Each structure stands twice: as structure tokens, then as C-alpha cells.
Structure 1
Amino acid sequence: MRNATAITQLSDEHPLTLDEAYAVQRAGIALRVGRGDPVIGVKLGFTSEAKARQMGVSDVIIGQLTASTEVPDGGTVDLATMVHPRVEPEVAFRLGEELSPDSDDPLSAVAEVAPALEVIDSRYRDFRFSLEDVVADNTSAAGFVIGEWLPFADRSASVDDAEVSLSFDGQVREQGSTADILGDPRRAVAAAQRMAGRHGLALPAGSIILAGAATAAVALEPGVLVEATVAGLGSVSVRTAPASTPDGDDHG
């Protein structure tokens, strides 16, 4: 999304199959790569059983992460560049070696784990979309922040049911557990392997995998410090830029 203007849902004008939606996603990512914005990982959606039921789906979806959408821990995001920005606390994995579609032990490719935040944003009007719409829109991927990477071998046993909190300016807005991510966030690695293989996506060494949301998404507000804490992994934060007045001056 380059001008933060909401558009009509694709499915309203041309019904899409899921395969066609993934083809649209790949075409959009190819445009980004062509502008010098390489793919550095993948993200999963609908890893929450409740959210999947709400959308009437029985499997996860996959999107792609490009380098320009990564925000440094403690960095700032500008909401003026987005339409419907929301944030979710997540768990991230980083591969130490290529994860091939035929690997029998996908977790053996994981080198590191970290707390993460994902900023999601839909280009569709009223934040309304079908399954195919959201897949075509690269699963609403808009930005992500990774906390300190920790050795996966040391933390693997503690990430399956860890407490998670999401706060704005120190006030807790959502609480949950990593168990809300597919029952165990480590299952996201195998899910990413399966979906990447199905849709022709590579998972080379160094790839990041965002496992999915551990709580409900919360609408972002200007001028706040957003922090996610995952027990056993630590915390990660991002600031939102202050709102601007019509003459361009920031409030406050």
C-alpha cells in the first residue's frame, strides 16, 4: 500500500478462488521485490481457533514479509501511512538453515526465537473482507517488530503456554497465552513449511516466521508506546508517531 487509500473489496467486483488470491498476493510481492524490497520471511494468519471459526476457515493462511516492513525494536511507525492499523503480540522464529518442504523435522531448522509485534492493516473499506480478499492483500501484513533473538534450543520447552500481555503506555490492553497460537506456537513452523511448499514460497536460512497472534488485535492510536511481553522471552516495543495538525505541527 503506497497511498493509504481504502479500496473496494476485490471479491465484490470479481469473485476469487483461494488459488487466484494467492496468485494476486505473489504478484503484489513481486512488485515490491522489483522495487528493491526483498522477502525476508513469512507470517501466518488464522492461527487462533476462535478467529478461524469466526471466518469459517479450517486452515491457516500465509503471507510474506518484506524488508521494508520491519521496524526496529523501540522504533516508530507512522499511522498516517495506513488505513486501519491494528497491532498484535506474537512469537517469532528465525531459521538457522533452509526449511525444505520435505523435511521430517521442521523445528530442527529453527535457530532462534523472540517476542514480536505485528502491525496489520487492511486496504479494504470498513476493514471488511473475505478469506480470499485477505489472502490477496498479503494477509494484512503492514509491519513487524522483533525483540531480542534468543537461542531456540534454550527456550523451546517454555514457549508452548507462556503468558502474553499487550500494553499501551504501560496500561494492559490485552492478555493471552502463546497456547492461543495453534495450541503451541512451535506448530507454526510446520504450518509455515506446509503452506510455503503448497504456494511455492522459499524458506531459506535466516527467514523469519511470525507464528500468529496471541491475543485479539487492538486498534493503534497516535503517540503511544506499544509493548508486548512474552513470559520467558522478554518484551518488544514500538512507538506510534504523534498525530499531526492540518498545518503539519504535532499535537503537544
Structure 2
Amino acid sequence: MNNKTTISQQLDKAATTATPIAQPSEAVKFSLEEAYNIQHKLIQLRLDRGETITGYKLGFTSKAKMQQMGVDDLIWGVLTDNMEIKPDENIDLNQYIHPRAEPEVAFRISNDIAQEITLNDIPQYIDKMAVAIEVIDSRYKDFKFSLEDVIADNCSSIGYCIGQWQDLKEDITNLPIQLTFNDKTVQSGFTQAILDNPYQSIVELSRLAAEKNLVLKKGQIILAGAATAAEWLKPKTKVSAELKGFGEVRFNTL
């Protein structure tokens, strides 16, 4: 596919100017592998501007979502330092196209992960976890896209806000998690929705990374996947996520 670079450039311009574009798959068909190659070129454009990779996010961590999309594996995107939203920071929604928020569980890598690991290995590679909020934002018109389109678009990655890092707990399979707007709950669920156990997201990411000969580096973060549906962001909103036993994190929209 000769136009992977062109698509990545179009997606990058759409993100930097907050201007939606048509789905590239409407004009040309491309495979999942080609979609990840486009994503790679898209991230390289960010790195060329001086950004650094800070971690990775997982999508389709809900088995129901996998079935809905007709896939049998997770998808993943790349996070950079430019995407970080500091706790209590004010963000301008004009920099996005279709911004939505999801409550998440974040993990911090303590030792490089260079191969597929198991659940039993996690304490050797992960030292902290925290409640987080991911902001997602498709670069496509009308928030419509194919599976290949969303992977090419870095799985709609655009922002993340992480709460205070805390020690791991042995069992995090059924913790309540909620998203609130101006102190009103707009989404709620349980961590069981994330692959039945958010720690499993780390295992799956290690497998996906190993297939690409990618090393997950010490200090990088992992967003395990959404435990609820995403909620549209609106101006003048205090956005907060709370995970039982791990406190809350918040930011504000202008």
C-alpha cells in the first residue's frame, strides 16, 4: 500500500487542526497490519516534532465489544507526553473533534517487558496502579469508522489523566469505577468488564508487543481499557473518575 504515509499525514493534520476527515477505508481498502503501519507512521510524525512515547492503551477489552466488532483480539494505540493531562488541569475542548471520556485503570511499568508475560509475572514488571481518565477523539467525520480506520487513527488516542500512583492489590477483578460530570455520575461499572481482570490487559499487551519485537519500557504506562461506555465531553465541566480503593482523579473543561 503506497499511500500509508499520505493517510498518516492526513490523520496528523486532522488531529493538530481539529478538522475531521473522511474514512480512508472508503477510498482504499487496507489490512489490519497495514493499519498498524499507518499508526506507526502517525506516531513517528509526533516523535519528529519532539514528543516522546509515554505508554500504550488497549481497546476492545470488553468481550461484548469484540463480538460487536467481529474481531477476536484487542487493539492498541500509543500514548505520548503531549497527550498527558495533569490532574486538575483545565483543557480547551476546541482542540478536539469528538471528545469523549472513559474511566480507566492505569499501570506503571517497573522493569522492561521484552517478552510475553503471565499474570504471575506481573509483580516483577508492574509496581504501581492508579485510577485514570482517557480522552478519546476520532479524527473521522461523524465519529464513524471501520476497524482498520480506528487502528490507523491510533485507536482514537488523544489524552489521558492519571491519579496518584498506589501499590498494587492482589485482587482488582470487581472494583466499582465511575465517571462523574460536575459531581453527577454519568457512567459506572466494575473492573471485571476489562477482560474479567485488568491485570490481564498487561499480559495481552506484552503478547502483542512481543509479536512486533517491541520492548515496553520501564517508566511507561499502560491504560488497561475502558470499564464503561465513553461519555461526550461538554464545556465547563468538572470531569472526575473514581476507582474504589484508589481514590479519584479530575480535570476541568473550559
* TM-score normalised by L of structure 2: 0.91
Question: 1:185 matched to which residue of 2?
Answer: 198
Cα separation, 1, equivalents of 2:60 and 2:201: 11
Unaligned runs of 5+ in 2: 1-14
C-alpha deviations, 1:62-113, integer Å up to 9, x for none?
A: 1000000011111122110111100000000001110112445541200100
Asked if 1:151 is matched to 2:167, the reply is: yes
**In the alignment, which of 41, 47, 64 is matched to residue 78 of structure 2?**
64
SS of 1:213's partner is coil
**In the alignment, which of 135, 157, 160 is matched to residue 119 of structure 1?**
135
The AA in structure 1 aligned to 2:43 is I
Cα separation, 1, equivalents of 2:83 and 2:201: 21
> 1:35 Cα deviation (Å)?
0.6
Cα separation, 1, equivalents of 2:82 and 2:250: 18
Cα separation, 2, equivalents of 1:137 and 1:103: 27
**In the alignment, which of 64, 76, 84 is matched to residue 50 of structure 1?**
64
Question: CA 1:196–1:177 in structure 2 vs 1: closer, same or farther (change >3 Å)?
Answer: same
Asked if 1:198 is matched to 2:214, the reply is: no
Cα separation, 1, equivalents of 2:170 and 2:128: 9
Asked if 1:18 is matched to 2:57, the reply is: no
The AA in structure 1 aligned to 2:110 is G
Asked if 1:216 is matched to 2:232, the reply is: no
Question: 1:248 matched to which residue of 2?
Answer: none
Q: Decide which moves more: 98-107 or 16-25.
A: 98-107
The AA in structure 2 aligned to 1:90 is E
The AA in structure 2 aligned to 1:41 is G
Equivalent pair of 2:117/2:203 in contact (CA under 8 Å):
no
The AA in structure 1 aligned to 2:51 is D
For the aligned residue pairs, the C-alpha RMSD in angstroms reads 1.1
Asked if 1:5 is matched to 2:19, the reply is: yes
SS of 1:212's partner is coil
Cα separation, 2, equivalents of 1:222 and 1:106: 43
Question: CA 1:77–1:199 in structure 2 vs 1: closer, same or farther (change >3 Å)?
Answer: farther
* TM-score normalised by L of structure 1: 0.92
**In the alignment, which of 134, 148, 153 is matched to residue 137 of structure 1?**
153
> 1:201 Cα deviation (Å)?
3.1
SS of 1:71's partner is coil
SS of 2:64's partner is helix
Equivalent pair of 1:99/1:106 in contact (CA under 8 Å):
no
Equivalent pair of 2:112/2:125 in contact (CA under 8 Å):
yes
Cα separation, 1, equivalents of 2:239 and 2:128: 23
Question: 1:128 matched to which residue of 2?
Answer: 144
SS of 2:223's partner is strand
> 1:227 Cα deviation (Å)?
0.6
Unaligned runs of 5+ in 1: 242-252
Cα separation, 1, equivalents of 2:76 and 2:137: 15
> 1:218 Cα deviation (Å)?
0.3
> 1:199 Cα deviation (Å)?
3.0
Q: Decide which moves more: 190-199 or 220-229.
A: 190-199
